[in-house]
Amino acid sequence: MKNLVDQTEHAALIKGDHDDRARQDFAFTLRNRVTSDWMPSSRTVFDKRASAAFVRATGSAPESPRDIRAAMDADSWYRFYLSARRTSQELIWESTIPSVARALPQGGEGADLDASVLPPRYMSAIDIHCMPGGYAADRGVGDMAAGAVYDRGVYLYMSGLMGPRNDAVGALTVAYLRRHFPEFTPARILDMGCGVGHATLPYCDGFPHAEVHGCDVAPALIRYADERARSWGKAATFHQRDAEATGFPDGYFDLVTSHIVLHETSTSALSRILAESRRLLAPGGMAVHVDQPRFDGADAWGTFLQENETYYNNEPFWRKYRTIDLHAAAVSAGFDDADVTLDILTADVVTQSQNNAKLTPEAAARRRAGFSILIARAP
Amino acid sequence: MTLPRTARGKRPAFDANPSVDRLVSIVLALASELSVLRDRLDTMEILGAQGGWLASGAVDSFIADQPTRERRELARDAYLDRVLHIMTAEIEGLQRDEDYWATVGEIETG
């Protein structure tokens, strides 16, 4: 699955010269081959070969995600696939970094920066998604390099399915809110862990009378977000703040959101972010957190596949996050049980982010593939 | 100021023989470069046909002058940096003391 519409230009976007772009095009093509073709093929390897080899070696059929991992790890095609898959991820960054390193982009004068905000350990210890230097890298006043690499990389990584403005997840969530809560018209919105504002800007269009804010601990992403938003004439303000403790006053926002952020945090940070979103809500306000759904306990194959993100793509919290009961976590964070709901958002971008994993018919009957959307309201 | 080219976090081993992983990375990087070259030739052919300046046989009879030879040598060196990057990346990893799974444990329980 892919979308070949080119990424929409803006003042901060760096695509590089002819060969940079050709290299990026190749990374795009290879990534899609790996996720849309080889990933589903690994199921064939399991069914036709790896499962039987596991039975011969152990005397029992592979049933748990752990069994399946042992069966697949013993297969050479699978190991070659994993190796190539890792390389395809690295080639995304290899193809985007050189043009940014040459340009050394500067900007983001409108960003609200606070150098005392330090990246938490879950962002600074490992380069998430294998992006060299990490999202929180800051190379001094005005530096936007990490934002420029990330913006281009996300487009390639998601095979264009994030849309030409990399905003599909935000747009999907805005559409969901307008459909399900047509009376809800927030005056002030905060998007937590906003990165370069991919999911933030759709709120400017969806709620044209609202004041839209985004916050992230990564200064180079915030500067880039500011430059990108202004280039498109979007009135959003970006702050260097930690979603665990934003420093905004109690009840300051009517809508607090995050998009595919929670699984990049940690067990205790997740609780603090949910509690912070509760604290920030005005009466009648709404917290909306969109991310990968919980693992389906009955779908051992799907769980095995998805856990590979932690094994092979620098996703240290992904495996654990997908076992957490978000509804219970929201209640622990101070929301009333009756005010919390979980639903599913579905789109091509979601399917791609889950590697186009084919569901067994039984698993498909039980679950709808999609992002989980946690909605928690303040009374 | 430079941007790093390798990510922090231990690179997993996929094959029992580490050289297989090195070769996978090198072969795909080469495939990338060949793909770039094909796109570039395609661009040249389109531009050449549009401008009417790419005569038949012109490419085969072309002799590079000294500045061109020097420029191409620099470009090839940079090309090898990209294709053989996996070797450098491994060295960079060795130079850093990092324990990926210790950090996973720290984050899962932290």
pLDDT reading at A318 higher than 50: yes
Is B79 near chain A, with CB under 8 Å?
A: no
What is the model's pLDDT at position B61? 79
Is B82 near chain A, with CB under 8 Å?
A: yes
Under the banding of pLDDT at 50, 70 and 90, the label for residue A344 is confident
What is the model's pLDDT at position A103? 96
| Region for residue A275 given its phi and psi (left: phi exceeds 0; alpha: psi -120 to 50; beta: otherwise) | alpha
**What's phi and psi for A344, nearest 5 deg?**
-120, 130
What is the model's pLDDT at position A148? 98
User: What per-residue string of b and e applies to A242-258 under the rule 16 or more CB within 10 Å gives b?
Assistant: bbbebebeeebbbbbbb
Q: Distance of CA A181 to CAs A158, A178, A254, A377, B101, Å? A: 29, 5, 13, 12, 43
What is the model's pLDDT at position A350? 63
Is B88 near chain A, with CB under 8 Å?
A: no
pLDDT reading at A365 higher than 50: no
User: In sequence order, what are the residues at sequence separation of 6 or more whose Cβ sits closer than 8 angstroms to the Cβ of residue B6?
Assistant: A132, B88, B89, B92, B93
| B12/A80 CB distance under 8 A | no
The C-alpha angle with vertex A270 and arms to A312 and A169, in degrees rounded to 5, equals 70
Domain ranges of chain B: 19-62, 63-110
- Structural tokens at position A316: 């240290």
What is the model's pLDDT at position A102? 95
Q: Is-contact A133 A127, C-beta < 8 A?
A: yes
Cα gap B33→B37, rounded to integer Å: 6
- Structural tokens at position A335: 């929301």
Q: How far is A165 from chain B (nearest CA, A)?
A: 25
Which of B8, B19, B101, B103 best tests the A interface by mutation, with the highest count of A CBs <10 A? B8
A147 or A295, which is more confident: A147
Is B15 near chain A, with CB under 8 Å?
A: yes
| A310/B103 CB distance under 8 A | no
| B5/A314 CB distance under 8 A | no
Q: How far is B70 from chain A (nearest CA, A)?
A: 19
pLDDT reading at A138 higher than 70: yes
Among A348, A117, A372, which Cα is nearest to A263's?
A372
pLDDT reading at A165 higher than 60: yes
pLDDT reading at A360 higher than 60: no
Amino acid at A92: I
What is the model's pLDDT at position A294? 87
pLDDT, tens digit, for every residue of A279-289?
999 999 999 99
- Structural tokens at position B96: 């850093």
Q: Nearest-CA residue of chain A relative to B78?
A: A98
- Structural tokens at position A172: 């999907």
How distant is the alpha carbon of residue A74 from its chain centre? 31
| A87/B29 CB distance under 8 A | yes
| pLDDT (average), residues A178-184 | 93
Q: Nearest-CA residue of chain A relative to B35?
A: A26
| pLDDT (average), residues B49-69 | 82
| B25/A83 CB distance under 8 A | yes
What is the model's pLDDT at position A366? 44
B56 or A318, which is more confident: A318
Q: How far is A132 from chain B (nearest CA, A)?
A: 4
Q: For residue A91, list chain B residues with Cβ-Cβ distance below 8 A.
A: 28-29, 32
Lowest-confidence pick of A106-120, A353-367, B37-51:
A353-367
Cα gap A277→A251, rounded to integer Å: 9
pLDDT reading at A369 higher than 70: no
pLDDT reading at A364 higher than 80: no
Cα gap A286→A185, rounded to integer Å: 11
Q: Is-contact A13 A151, C-beta < 8 A?
A: yes
What is the model's pLDDT at position A357? 63
Under the banding of pLDDT at 50, 70 and 90, the label for residue B81 is confident
Q: How far is B45 from chain A (nearest CA, A)?
A: 14
Cα gap B12→A274, rounded to integer Å: 33
Q: Is-contact A121 B106, C-beta < 8 A?
A: yes
Under the banding of pLDDT at 50, 70 and 90, the label for residue A298 is confident
Mean pLDDT across chain A, nearest whole number?
93
| pLDDT (average), residues A346-354 | 64
| B107/A122 CB distance under 8 A | yes
Q: Is-contact A299 A363, C-beta < 8 A?
A: yes
Under the banding of pLDDT at 50, 70 and 90, the label for residue B96 is confident
Which of A72, A124, A126, A318 best tests the B interface by mutation, with the highest count of B CBs <10 A? A126
Q: How far is B101 from chain A (nearest CA, A)?
A: 8
Q: What percent of chain B has pLDDT over 70?
A: 99
pLDDT, tens digit, for every residue of A231-286?
999 999 999 999 999 999 999 999 999 999 999 999 999 999 999 999 999 999 99
| Region for residue A327 given its phi and psi (left: phi exceeds 0; alpha: psi -120 to 50; beta: otherwise) | alpha
pLDDT reading at A192 higher than 90: yes
Q: Is-contact A253 A279, C-beta < 8 A?
A: no
What is the model's pLDDT at position B72? 84
Q: What is the pTM of this model?
A: 0.88
- Structural tokens at position A201: 């800007």
User: In sequence order, what are the residues at sequence separation of 6 or more whose Cβ sits closer than 8 angstroms to the Cβ of residue A188?
Assistant: A210, A211, A213, A252, A253, A254, A255, A282
DSSP B56-85: TTTTTT----HHHHHHHHHHHHHHHHHHTH
pLDDT, tens digit, for every residue of A79-134?
999 999 999 999 999 999 999 999 999 999 999 999 999 999 999 999 999 999 99
A188 bridge partner residues? A211
Cα gap A167→A157, rounded to integer Å: 14
Of B3, B25, B103, the CB nearest to A133: B3
Q: Please, what is the end-to-end C-alpha distance for chain B in angstroms?
A: 34
What is the model's pLDDT at position A197? 98
Which of B1, B2, B3, B35 best tests the A interface by mutation, with the highest count of A CBs <10 A? B3
Q: What percent of chain A has pLDDT over 70?
A: 94
| B3/A132 CB distance under 8 A | yes
| pLDDT (average), residues B68-97 | 81
